[in-house]
Structure 1
Amino acid sequence: MTSGKISTGISGLDEITDGGLVKNSSNLVRGGPGTGKTILGFHFLSADSAGKSAFITFEESKENLLAFSSKLGFELRNVEFLDLSPSEHFFSEVESYDIFLSSDVERQPVTKQIIDFIEAVKPERVFIDSMTQFRYFSPNKYQFRKQVISFIRFLLQRGCTVVSTSEFSREEPDDDLQFLCDGVINLKTEDGERFIEITKFRQSGFRSGLHSMKITAQGIRVFPRLIPDTVSTGIVNEIIPFGIEGLDKMLYGGIRRGTINIISGPPGVGKSTLGMLFARETAMRKEKALIYTFEESADQMIFRAKSLGIPAVGLKESDLLQIEPIMALAYSPDEFSQLVRSSVEKEDTKVIVIDSLSSYRLVLKGREQSEALYALCKYMKSRGVTVILLYATSSLVSDIDPGRGVSFLCDNIIFLRYYEAAGEIHRAIGVLKKRTSDFEKSVRELVITKNGIEIGERLTNTRGILSGMPYVNGEVPDGKE
């Protein structure tokens, strides 16, 4: 933990706040109903098991809060509660104040309770749910502002780090509270997705923008938005082979480590098989490879590899070759990026295969593809990870480009195609692009057998494969008569 900081209890939030909350600061958590404000408070108060913490509640009872926190697995043994919520007897025993305003009558006993509570507990962390309740103890906005300033100073002078929640609406904005606090954390829900955003953070840097978050059975998880500029870059001058003799010849030895590679082709042409073979070759070198499959289960991929004579089972069991199925609609782009980061940084993964780029677009849920994919690929490249992106073309014969915002990312493009000759369907393979070195410009036949993939001879007698209208030399292509 960065000096002068304390943990929020949420690792992803600690990351985007550059190490946690500033000690002895006041922070405001804003959000509508059900956005996770109280849960964030549970994380904050339970993050320090040694020090004392305080929870001041104006709405939920202590009993309800303890029951809620227990369901989420929080240990609040070191947390003292000041329950200022209305009791069940309030409605029947309510008294009206005919001469004085209710705010004048209620403010003094509530203030005294808070002062006595803080002086007795001497907490290091204080969570207030919610600060906007002070409006109802104040006769006007001026008095409310003075009271909040005084209350925050009272807590900070006693060494507390304060997190308070805010309930706001168009009719009752909370701009005044945002001005008064050192940090402002916003919890949002948009189109069914949850986000967290820091808009103010005095005395510290922070990572701006919207970051994905989820509320799970264990509380809040935050997935920081990947910014490639925050990681170091480096160039690795090492050629690694595909493990297919003919393809390695076409690539003049293989591909450079730490590059972004696209294998493009129609469904069923052999893209996943090529990706599996490259991952297997990586594992054979005692390096870890990981395949993210959006379309098949791990068992299906292993079965298919076995039927093609690719012995991947033993490598998978040794943990050098991992296959991880991904349900695209269950992930946000930030969450998937976090999954990749964890594999790279904690498990030292050297090769990542994404099968396929077309299905990965479902993770984006309509967002701009180039930004998310750019950040993810640049991050992996800077870590020396070799990336294989499998792209399923929409056309069976002629489509090569994986789309705007993708081609410029990649260092190498390998294309697979179907073509018809003598009344039979064949497969072809070629290299369209290779940065940093030369490559064979010819198109060759690709054959998938029970022993894997074989690269055949140059298709010197066939032309027009890339156009989708192949023809044998000497023949007149369709439409040219």
Structure 2
Amino acid sequence: MSEASARESTGVAGLDTILGGGLITEQNALLRGPPGVGKTVFGLHFLSACDADETALYINLGEPTAYVERTAAHFGLDSPSLQILELAPTAEEFAEGGTYSLFSAAEVEGPPLVSEIIDTVEERAPDRVFVDPITELRYLTTDDHQFRSQILGLLDFLRDAGATVMMASQSAPDSPDTDLQFMTDAIINLERRRDTLTIDVPKFRGPSPKRGPHTYEVTTDGVEVWPRLHPDVPAVEFPDERVSSGVPELDKLLHGGLQRGTVTFFSGPTGAGKTTTSMQFVKEAAGRGNYSVIFSFEESKRTMVRRSKALNIGLEEMLERDRLDIVEVRPGEYTADQLTSMIRDAVTEDDAEIVLLDGFQGFKQNLRGFDDDRGPVDYLVSIGRYLREQGVTTLVTNEVHDITGQFRVTEEATSNLADNIVFLRYLEYNGSMEKVVGVLKMRTSDFEDSIRRIDFTEYGVTVGDPLEGLTGILTGTPRFEGSSRSETDGER
């Protein structure tokens, strides 16, 4: 790797991914954000990512050093290579009435702040420097011109010393840092949007970073960043094959099964059997020795396993054989970017054949970090495109509210996202409620255009022969045309 393209890890894997490998060596980055978004923790991650033969310098212009040390220890970021240079005024200095001033480079005749930085850098020769916060220097200079001159001089000095620099900026409407943004090589924006923390990189002197905003959290283990999913990874080669449900009559409806690498919606009202039908494909994949993952937005893992046992699907056995993982997605627990990161891991690390998103309504309601009302659909489009390119078969259950009456595939304009649409429907027949299944759309192949009765029993999923002689099935109120009732009853 050439010196110009050498990278320094930020210490946060997700941020490194966004930047394309980390910060460029000997460049500087401005870490902007209001109080409480984790700037100090980001900086500590950056300093702790030093190699064993490197050194790091924390130039502290804000919090007391004891607080910084406690923070570093709390997150396990107290690297032995770290030195803290405290330049913030201490309580003792204030009590003694001491002065606290910054002089220009031509005025370093006393113990000014700049000379302390210079002396420490020359003595320590740090490979990484974090200045927290750089905006504090604004209050220690006489005017904006002197502030800009001092910052430019400091950055040039640190670059000449061979250091890669990260600086925190306390950005606020009443305290703009526009001048700092012009002077730096990279800008990393941290922001709190309602209940979600976001990170974006609007400026980077180097290869373009991944578009955001992305989401992150400050957890007990430090900062975790989840890059936004963009389906821009190279497509993989995968066989042109069908994914079977293991139910012969259902496969007949699909002309042999679902095409691998497609997105299928299972649409219907509550209780019609959308999840159970889609789990048949998961069961069959496990029987072939392949791995699947279910993201459940509407019921617990325990309930799903118990129900599958009653239907002879056996999710528990699949879990025990590591052929399946079930992820419960409770309301507000994950951001949308966090979910897509888990999907990406299931594909790249576990080689998932099937990804089942169980409950599109829950997908919309349970996740945090959507930009607007269109956000859930846009994310689902990105997920579908990414999984198609990776040869993964995607299943999505989608609830419609009408149990009978006017036929509707989806509650909103999402049907265009699907390559295939399998619908399940209630109908009132002979004084009882029956369930039927049919295929409305298959983008990559032909399909059977009939409708079949579907039952869910302790023996599993059973699908009957095509229903003939009945019309009006999709309205929920069928009637006979051209067949006797006894002939239709015999098809059960």
Q: Same fold (TM over 0.5)?
A: yes
Distance 1:399 1:187, change over 3 A: farther
Q: Please state how far the C-alpha of 1:60 moved relative to its aligned partner.
A: 1.2
Distance 1:221 1:367, change over 3 A: farther
Distance 1:44 1:96, change over 3 A: closer
Q: Match for 2:377: what amino acid?
A: S
Q: Which residue of 2 aligns with 1:441?
A: 449
1:416 to 378, 399, 424: 424
Q: Does 1:425 align with 2:433?
A: yes
Q: Which residue of 1 aligns with 2:9?
A: 7
Take 1:249 and 1:459, find their aligned partners in 2: how far apart are those partners? 14
Take 1:118 and 1:449, find their aligned partners in 2: how far apart are those partners? 74
Give CA deviations for 1:157-192 in whole Å, capped at 9, x if unaligned.
Answer: 010000001113323211110000000000000112
Q: Which residue of 1 aligns with 2:26?
A: 24
Q: Please state how far the C-alpha of 1:108 moved relative to its aligned partner.
A: 5.6
Q: Which residue of 2 aligns with 1:152?
A: 155
Take 2:326 and 2:149, find their aligned partners in 1: how far apart are those partners? 59
Q: Please state how far the C-alpha of 1:153 moved relative to its aligned partner.
A: 0.3
Q: Match for 1:177: what amino acid?
A: L
Take 1:127 and 1:96, find their aligned partners in 2: how far apart are those partners? 25
Q: Which residue of 2 aligns with 1:192?
A: 195
1:127 to 122, 125, 130: 130
SS in 1 for 2:349: helix
Gaps of 5+ in 1: 476-481
Q: Which residue of 1 aligns with 2:403?
A: 396
Percent pairwise identity:
35
Give the TM-score taking structure 2 as reference length. Answer: 0.92
Q: Which residue of 2 aligns with 1:39?
A: 41
Q: Match for 2:10: what amino acid?
A: T
Aligned length: 472
C-alpha RMSD over aligned residues: 2.1
SS in 1 for 2:50: coil
Q: Please state how far the C-alpha of 1:407 moved relative to its aligned partner.
A: 1.3
2:261 to 255, 258, 263: 258
Stretch deviating more after TM superposition (199-208 or 103-112): 103-112
Gaps of 5+ in 2: 484-492
Q: Does 1:320 align with 2:327?
A: no
Q: Does 1:373 align with 2:380?
A: yes
Give CA deviations for 1:405-440 in whole Å, capped at 9, x if unaligned.
Answer: 521121111100000011110001101011221111
Q: Please state how far the C-alpha of 1:232 moved relative to its aligned partner.
A: 2.6
Take 2:123 and 2:48, find their aligned partners in 1: how far apart are those partners? 20
Decide whether the 8 Å contact of 1:236 with 1:256 is kept in 2.
Answer: no
Q: Please state how far the C-alpha of 1:136 moved relative to its aligned partner.
A: 2.1
SS in 2 for 1:418: strand
Decide whether the 8 Å contact of 1:127 with 1:164 is kept in 2.
Answer: yes
SS in 1 for 2:174: coil
Q: Which residue of 1 aligns with 2:490?
A: none
Stretch deviating more after TM superposition (277-286 or 226-235): 226-235
Q: Does 1:240 align with 2:243?
A: yes
SS in 2 for 1:237: coil
Take 1:440 and 1:459, find their aligned partners in 2: how far apart are those partners? 12
Give the TM-score taking structure 1 as reference length. Answer: 0.94
Q: Which residue of 2 aligns with 1:138?
A: 141
Take 2:31 and 2:135, find their aligned partners in 1: how far apart are those partners? 11
Decide whether the 8 Å contact of 2:32 with 2:188 is kept in 1.
Answer: yes
Q: Which residue of 2 aligns with 1:359?
A: 362
Q: Which residue of 2 aligns with 1:91?
A: 94
Distance 1:177 1:108, change over 3 A: farther
